[in-house]
Amino acid sequence: MIPAERRVFKGSIVVKMVVVAVLILVLLIPLMMIGGLVDERQQRHDAVTAEVASSWGTAQTLGGPVLVVPFHTYGEDDKGRVITYEHRAYFLPELLKVDGRLEPEKRSRGIFEVMLYRADLRLSGTFKRPSFAAWGIAAKDVQWDQASLAIGIPDMGGIRQGVNITWAGKVLQLSPGGTVEGVWTSGLQVPISGLAAAAEGQTWDFGFDLVLNGSQELRVLPFGKQTTVSFHSPWASPSFIGKFLPESHRVTPAGFEATWNVPYFGRSYPQQWQAQETEKVAPAQVVTASSFGVGLFLPVDLYQKTQRSVKYGILFVFLTFMTFFLYEVFSPFSLHPMQYLLVGSALCLFYVLLLSISEHAHFSLAYALASVATIGLIMAYAAAILRARLRALGVGAALTGLYSYLYVLLQAEDFALLLGAVGLFVILALVMYITRRLDWYAPRGGQSPQPPPLPPVPQGA
């Protein structure tokens, strides 16, 4: 004889709905844990990338060259004695031209791949003789003999050979240093002579070659009144990044070519400033924000796609449970909560399979393998608990449609919201259509139980 509480559970649709809803909420816990696992693997990938890049060269942003000229100002102390203060002024080039070829290189660390590059660069341009007239600095107070050129390079470890610069026809040796206060802290420098005797408005040409190792991206600061940058590379999947997009570019399976022409009107800092004005006139964040260039990124979006798919996990659990629930309502059998829980566990395991396989194979192949394995497992289990292979095929068809729908959502990022809204509307309409004649007050999906007929009235009463 079936216990009373078990009969209540089997006979009441409302009780069954409450139990299923509780199981769905319980399955939120493993889904959240899987989301945390995806984040952990993403962080591990980023840590490996940073570790490899630190040995080769990090993302590089070329700054300069900048002409640095010291000058003196004077004041008095509380006793009236004259005090000399030394300051530095920074002057940017009239013309800056950068030509570079980027040779990509993949390095592996365990199961992770890191995108590196070697850049063969040629920098050239023109400087005009600095003018201190706008600041009211007398010519005698300008320390022309201490002038220097400074070039900013974030990761000096990426320089693999010495660098010589040609200045006004002379070959000079660059050395480490070249700090520009408040803008960058590492780079190259070289003393410059001959500025004091130059006429007002005189110009000097410069040029140097630089072989630089880096990873993921290479940027340039638009320090010229007119800055022209040309990059080309055999890498076929570039990402143009930063403040300015290329004026022209061509991307083919054999690589890419891109050219930028940037006037100084497109940035928010001037052609010259004093060191003490840096935080006001040209702070580091403003200068950095004006950079532009190219990224040689590996398309490592498997973690993003997996994380997005996990967000749909609760929907998959709900719709799958709804399918089993409708089979149960319209059929003469009852499923145990443990059976629902096992099916939900298989749905959650899909995301672990997807993550683990996609780290070794293409995401599409990983998705196909994980979904086929999950659908096959649930269909085999459904054939036993639903007591009919045809019902199991119905469950399999529903899951195939759901996983196909999710894959389309993951690929169509721009239309994901639209496709998601339309898909949910269609699913809701289908559920409403199937249950349109269901009497939710009845123990099963049939008609509501009719009250017993009244006893016949005795004749003569």
The DSSP bridge pattern shows strands 60-76 and 226-233 to be: unpaired
Number of domains within the chain:
2
Using an 8 Å Cβ cutoff, are 275 and 199 in contact?
A: no
pLDDT of residue 300: 56
> Residues 238, 91: one domain?
yes
Using an 8 Å Cβ cutoff, are 30 and 345 in contact?
A: yes
> Residues 233, 323: one domain?
no
Using an 8 Å Cβ cutoff, are 228 and 96 in contact?
A: yes
- Residue 311: φ, ψ to 5°: -65, -25
Using an 8 Å Cβ cutoff, are 57 and 119 in contact?
A: no
Dist. CA 159–CA 209, nearest whole Å = 11
For residue 426, is it within any domain?
Answer: yes
CA distances from 255 to 20, 82, 102, 229, 238 (A): 55, 63, 10, 17, 8
Using an 8 Å Cβ cutoff, are 366 and 358 in contact?
A: yes
- Residue 212: φ, ψ to 5°: -130, 130
> 249 forms bridges with which residues in the sheet?
258
Closest CA to 391 of 402, 403, 400, 382: 382
Dist. CA 32–CA 35, nearest whole Å = 5
The kind and range of the H/E element at 239 are strand 239-242
- Give Cβ neighbours of residue 82 (< 8 Å, ≥ 6 apart): 74, 75, 76
Dist. CA 263–CA 222, nearest whole Å = 8
> Residues 101, 19: one domain?
no
> Residues 19, 164: one domain?
no
User: Which residue do the tokens 């089997």 mark?
Assistant: 10
pLDDT of residue 9: 47
Chain mean position to CA 1: 61
Instruction: Output the domain CATH number for residue 76.
Output: 2.60.40
For residue 458, is it within any domain?
Answer: no
pLDDT of residue 11: 53
**119: helix, strand or coil:** strand
> Residues 322, 425: one domain?
yes
> Residues 253, 313: one domain?
no
> Residues 194, 166: one domain?
yes
**312: helix, strand or coil:** coil
For residue 356, is it within any domain?
Answer: yes
The DSSP bridge pattern shows strands 272-274 and 226-233 to be: unpaired
For residue 411, is it within any domain?
Answer: yes
Q: What is the pLDDT along the chain (461 residues), one digit of tens a residue?
A: 445 444 444 556 778 888 888 998 999 999 999 989 988 888 888 888 888 888 888 889 999 899 999 999 888 777 778 888 888 999 999 999 999 999 998 887 777 778 889 999 999 999 999 988 888 888 888 899 899 999 999 988 888 888 899 998 899 999 998 888 888 888 999 999 888 888 888 899 999 999 999 988 999 999 999 999 999 999 888 889 999 999 999 999 899 999 999 999 988 899 999 988 888 888 888 999 999 999 987 665 788 888 888 988 888 898 888 888 888 887 777 888 899 999 999 999 999 999 999 888 888 899 999 999 999 999 999 998 888 888 889 899 989 988 998 888 887 766 777 877 888 888 889 888 887 877 776 655 444 444 555 566 566 54
> Residues 273, 364: one domain?
no
> Per this entry, what is the length of the chain?
461
pLDDT of residue 378: 93
> Residues 230, 160: one domain?
yes
For residue 349, is it within any domain?
Answer: yes
Q: Which of 243, 261, 295 is the last residue of a domain?
A: 295
For residue 18, is it within any domain?
Answer: yes
> Residues 190, 329: one domain?
no
For residue 178, is it within any domain?
Answer: yes
pTM surpassing 0.75?
A: no
> Residues 328, 425: one domain?
yes
For residue 285, is it within any domain?
Answer: yes
Q: Which domain holds residue 19?
A: 9-42+302-434
Using an 8 Å Cβ cutoff, are 296 and 213 in contact?
A: no
pLDDT of residue 351: 92
Instruction: State the Cα angle at 399 between 393 and 405, rounded to 5°.
Output: 140
> Residues 391, 279: one domain?
no
